[in-house]
């Protein structure tokens, strides 16, 4: 037995980083060496992993392999049984990581696989118990079958997926990345293609490839899969049907017998989970390649406004992230709406049209965070910073014209801070704006103020004032779908 190689494979298994090839290598070592089995079982017990995936089918498959013929004391028999159980867990864990099915897994009541994040007029209970036990928002859910008799719920699986479930529905939670929809309608927001979510139905299995999709199972087990974003693979249970890949904006109906039919994708009939849309703001870290335009501009995705500069370390101030940051240099004579200002401001337009349906339902909030810093200076050093969000019911071209003519935004919010004099301290500002229905664009603005008036009106200047690490997100609240 190669002890060093065994330790490497066990470490990889414990870290959920075991490939199929290496899993087979580890299983071979366990089959061939009792010392290896003892080492593996001891390590698994030490880290509390033996209860993670007690998959009877996998255990029986591994246990059916040849075991070295040698005398066994009662203690040895118990140890070997534990080791073969651990070997079965390797197979089960790898199948789980790769999206495989472990259909006979026995739930461990001590394990929690998901959290009930949100409930709306929901009657959500555990099933096959007497009496049924109601589940409320905030509950941590273990494996088992759950009934949604009315309303709408959102489940956050600890493996990363978010599932929105609409009544009437019955669902079995199996693991942190696996569930079975017995009947009803749901939407899965999977997101990370490296950590797939496996959804079983009476007609087959749906495996995401970094995606968002809806599934409907009727009383006969017929399954519809509607793909909103990304790709999914549908594996029919019928041996007469092949695996089907469904692309975005497509849909398919499959029966338990394997009959297949293409459909028109319809997202409106499915519940929608909450979503956080990030990376909408361009060049939010002011790194290399960031372009700054002086004056007004209506183009989305570019920074425009007063004179600023992208710099590296400046005196005792270092960038909060990366190796560059924004330096505010001078103020404009007027704000965009025509009033007087003593601020240096920088703006960016964001097009909201991709999320118009959710905005029309009043389910979207815009959230901006930014960090600010300045030199230590003295009593005459300016200290005020601000962030603002302004939404408009027109496109950015017309919105820019409205600002110039002095008309106000449809909705706006902002926050200010008086910064400290410690250059090592980056201070954070946050603003949240609920977007009115029909909002089409939003203006993101960061500002540094001349709040200590000590310059002439022609050359207002800053001693050294900086911004970095901006983040803009759209937070979309969950919603139920229309019934057929």
* pLDDT surpasses 90 at 340: no
Q: What's the pLDDT tens digit per position in 256-307?
A: 998 999 999 999 999 999 988 888 999 999 999 999 999 999 999 999 999 9
Report pLDDT for 483. Answer: 59
Structure tokens given for 325: 């940051």
Distance of CA 184 to the CA centre of its chain: 24
Closest by CA to 357, choosing from 248, 270, 432, 298, is 270
Q: What's the pLDDT tens digit per position in 448-470?
A: 998 887 655 554 578 999 999 99
Q: Which residues contact 103 (CB under 8 A, 6 or more apart)?
A: 57, 200
Mean pLDDT lowest among 79-88, 215-224, 274-283, 396-405: 79-88
Closest by CA to 113, choosing from 88, 142, 83, is 142
CA 324 – CA 329 distance, rounded (Å): 15
68 or 294, higher pLDDT: 294
Domains of the chain: 3-97 (no CATH), 114-273 (2.60.120.1440), 276-476 (2.60.120.260)
CA 388 – CA 416 distance, rounded (Å): 9
In this structure, what DSSP letter does residue 466 have?
Answer: E
Q: From the CB of residue 439, how many other CB atoms can be counted at a distance below 10 Å?
A: 24
End-to-end CA distance of the chain: 62
CA 286 – CA 93 distance, rounded (Å): 42
Q: How confident is the model at residue 342 (pLDDT cuts 50, 70, 90)?
A: confident
Torsion, Cα 116 208 106 151, to 10 degrees, reads 30
Q: Which residues contact 131 (CB under 8 A, 6 or more apart)?
A: none
């Amino acid at each position: 037995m190669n002890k060093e190689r065994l330790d490497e494979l066990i470490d990889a298994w414990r870290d959920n980083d075991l490939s199929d090839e290496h899993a087979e290598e580890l299983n071979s070592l366990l089959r061939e060496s009792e010392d290896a089995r003892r080492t593996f079982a001891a390590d698994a017990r030490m880290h509390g992993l033996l209860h993670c995936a007690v998959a009877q089918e996998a255990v029986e498959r591994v246990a059916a392999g040849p075991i070295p013929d040698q005398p066994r004391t009662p203690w040895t028999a118990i140890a070997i049984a534990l080791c073969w159980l651990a070997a079965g867990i390797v197979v089960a864990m790898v199948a789980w990581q790769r999206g495989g099915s472990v259909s006979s897994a026995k739930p461990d009541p001590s394990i929690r696989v998901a959290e009930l994040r949100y409930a709306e007029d929901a009657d959500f209970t555990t099933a096959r118990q007497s009496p049924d036990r109601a589940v409320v928002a905030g509950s941590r859910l273990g494996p088992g079958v759950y009934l949604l008799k009315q309303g709408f719920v959102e489940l956050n699986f600890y493996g990363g997926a978010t599932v929105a479930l609409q009544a009437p529905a019955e669902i079995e939670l199996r693991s942190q990345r696996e569930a079975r929809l017995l009947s009803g309608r749901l939407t899965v927001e999977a997101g990370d293609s490296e950590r797939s979510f496996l959804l079983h139905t009476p007609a087959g299995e749906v495996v995401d490839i970094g995606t968002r999709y809806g599934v409907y199972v009727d009383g006969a087990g017929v399954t519809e899969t509607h793909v909103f974003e990304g790709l999914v693979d549908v594996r029919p249970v019928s041996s007469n049907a092949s695996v089907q890949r469904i692309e975005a904006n497509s849909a398919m109906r499959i029966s338990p017998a394997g009959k297949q039919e293409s459909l028109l994708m319809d997202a409106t009939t499915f519940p929608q989970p909450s979503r956080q849309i990030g990376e909408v703001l361009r060049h939010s870290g002011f790194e290399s390649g960031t372009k700054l335009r002086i004056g007004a501009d209506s183009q989305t995705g570019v920074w425009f406004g007063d004179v600023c500069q992208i710099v590296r370390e400046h005196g005792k101030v270092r960038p909060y992230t990366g190796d560059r940051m924004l330096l505010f240099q001078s103020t404009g004579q007027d704000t965009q709406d025509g009033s007087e200002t003593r601020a240096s401001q920088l703006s960016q337009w964001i097009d909201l049209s991709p999320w118009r349906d959710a905005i029309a339902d009043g389910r979207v909030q815009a959230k901006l965070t930014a960090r600010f810093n300045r030199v230590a200076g003295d009593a005459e050093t300016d200290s005020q910073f601000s962030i603002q969000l302004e939404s408009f019911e027109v496109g950015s071209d017309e919105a820019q014209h409205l600002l110039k003519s002095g008309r106000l935004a449809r909705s706006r919010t902002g926050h200010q801070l008086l910064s400290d004099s410690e250059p090592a301290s980056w201070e954070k500002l946050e603003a949240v704006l609920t977007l009115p229905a029909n909002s089409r664009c939003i203006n993101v603005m960061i500002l540094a103020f001349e709040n200590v008036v000590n310059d002439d009106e022609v050359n207002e200047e800053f001693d050294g004032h900086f911004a970095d690490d901006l983040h803009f997100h759209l937070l979309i609240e969950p919603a139920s779908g229309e019934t057929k």
